[in-house]
Amino acid sequence: MNTPSVLFIDVYSLKMLKARLPELDVYSENVKSLDFISSSLSTCVTFDISCRTYIPLPPMQFTRHHLKLSVKEASLQPLMLESGFLSFGSCLLAERNPANEHLPSFSLLQRRSLPGLRLPWWPWKPHSWRHVPGSRRSKRPPRFFNAAAHLLSSFNNPNWYHWLGLPGLGSLPINKNIESIIISDRNLFMNNNTPTPLLQRVATLAKAVQPHSKLLFERGPFFIKELHACFIEHHTPLACDASGLQHLRLGSASIATSACKISTTNKLYLRRGPLARRPLHGEEYLERALLQRGFDVLDAAVLQLPECIATFAKADWVVAPHGAALTNIVFSRPGTKVVELLPGPLENYGHYSLMASALGLMHSYLIGRNLHEGEFEVDQNLLLGWLDTELLAAMK
C-alpha cells in the first residue's frame, strides 16, 4: 500500500502538483493590508479601551489559490473529494496557515488517512491537530458527478467563522453564476450525508448568495467532472476578505425579511458560556450589569439564521468575548459599534477587528489576562465605566 503524504497548498506545492497534472488551471491572487485598506469602508483603526487611543489594525497578508480541473468524464478526474478534503493519489491537499508552518509541503504518514483525529507520535504544536491528517479513510466506493461544481469546505475548521470567512463562503466567486455547489465536511453523517445545523446554515446563506446554484451535501468519496476549489495560504496569522464579506452581507439581506422574532433592543451581548474554549471569568456578573444597561444577552448559536441576521442588522452595539459568535457581525450595518474582549494581543486575536473594518463597523477592544484552565478575565469596572460614557454620549 502506498504511503500517503500531505500537500499543503503554497506556491511550491502548486508547482509540484502542476508538474504532475499539466491540465490543472491555477489562478492565484495576493491580498495585503494595503489592498485591504484601499477597499475598506472604514479608516482601518481600532480603539483600545484601556489606553483610550486609536491604533492601526495588525498587518495582514494572504494568497488565495483558485484551482480548476476539467476532464471528459468524472471517472477520469484525478482529484478525489472526501470529508471536505481533496486528495491526489496518496497526497492530501490542505490549507497552508501558521498553525502548520512547521510541517513540510509533503509529509509522510504511516497509513492512508484523512484529517480529524490526533496521532500520538506526531510532533504536535498546540491545536495543530486541526490542520494535519490523522483519521482513517472510509472504505466506501467513490461516486461520480458528471457536471461542474464548486467545492465549499472549511478545510477541517468546522465552525461559523471559517465557513463565513476564508476559505468557506468567502471563496465563492462574486458576480458569477455557479452551476452546482458541493458542501463537504467531515461532520456530515457517513451514510446519508445529513447536514448538521451548522451546515444547514451554510447552505441557506450559500443559496442566498448564489440563488441559481444547485446545492449538494457530500462527504464522499466523490469525483467531479469539472472541479473548482479555493485554498488560502496565510502569510500572517490573520486574514480577511473585505469584498467577500461585503458580498455575504448583501446576500443575507433577503433572508432577514422572513424573521418573525428579533431582539427587543439594539444593544447585544453575545454570551460565551462556561463550557466554551477560553471562557470569560465572571461572565455572569458582566451579563447582569449589561442587562441593567438595556442589553440583550444572546446565545447566537441557538438563533435561527433569519432571526440571527435580522437581530444583528438591527443592532447598534455588539459586546462579546472573542469567539466564533462574533462572526455574525457580517450581518451588521455600517457604523455598528463592536466591543470585543480579548484573551491576548491584537496581533493574535485581531480576526474580528479586521472583519469590522472591512464591513465599516467601529471596533473597540479590551485585553484581559489568562487564568487557569483556559479562562481569561477582563477589568469589568474599566469596561463598564467606558461603556457608560459612550452610551451617555450617544444619547445627547
- Domains and their CATH numbers in the chain: 5-41+60-240 (no CATH), 258-395 (3.40.50.360)
Burial class (CB within 10 angstroms; exposed 0-12, middle 13-18, buried 19+) of 59: middle
- Per-residue pLDDT, 124: 46
Cα–Cα distance, 344 to 342 (Å, whole number): 5
- The sign one gets for the Cα dihedral 110, 115, 121, 122 is positive
* Radius of gyration (C-alpha) of the chain in whole angstroms: 22
For residue 105, the model assigns a pLDDT of 72
- Could you tell me if 85 and 77 are in contact, meaning their C-beta atoms sit under 8 angstroms apart? no
Q: Are 298 and 264 in contact (CB under 8 A)?
A: no
CA distance 238 to 280: 22
Please tell me the predicted confidence (pLDDT) of residue 101.
Answer: 75
Distance CA 201, CA 277 (A): 22
Cα separations (Å) of 162 from 30, 198, 237, 240? 19, 11, 14, 11
SS3 for 370? strand
**What whole-number distance in Å separates Cα of residue 192 and Cα of residue 189?**
6
Query: What pLDDT, on a 0 to 100 scale, did the predictor assign at position 23?
Result: 94
Place of cell 455600517: 334
Question: Taking a C-beta distance cutoff of 8 angstroms, is the pair 294, 265 a contact?
Answer: yes
Residue 215's CB is within 10 A of a number of other CB atoms, namely 16
> What pLDDT, on the 0 to 100 scale, is given for residue 126?
47
Ramachandran angles phi, psi of 29, nearest 5°: -130, 135
Closest to 220 measured CA to CA, from 182, 163, 168, 172: 182
**270, 338 in Cβ contact below 8 A?**
no
| CA–CA distance, 394 with 389 (Å, rounded to integer) | 9
What pTM value is reported for the model?
0.87
The pLDDT assigned to 83 comes to 84
* Non-local CB neighbours of 54 within 8 Å, separated by 6+ positions: 45, 46, 47, 48
**Helix H or strand E segment including 37:** helix 33-39
The predicted pLDDT at position 99 comes to 74
**Angle, helices 197-209/242-256, rounded to nearest 10 degrees:** 100
Are 23 and 341 in contact by the 8 Å Cβ rule? The answer is no
Which amino acid is it at 346? L
Residue spans of the chain under pLDDT 50? 1-2, 41, 110-111, 117-122, 124-131
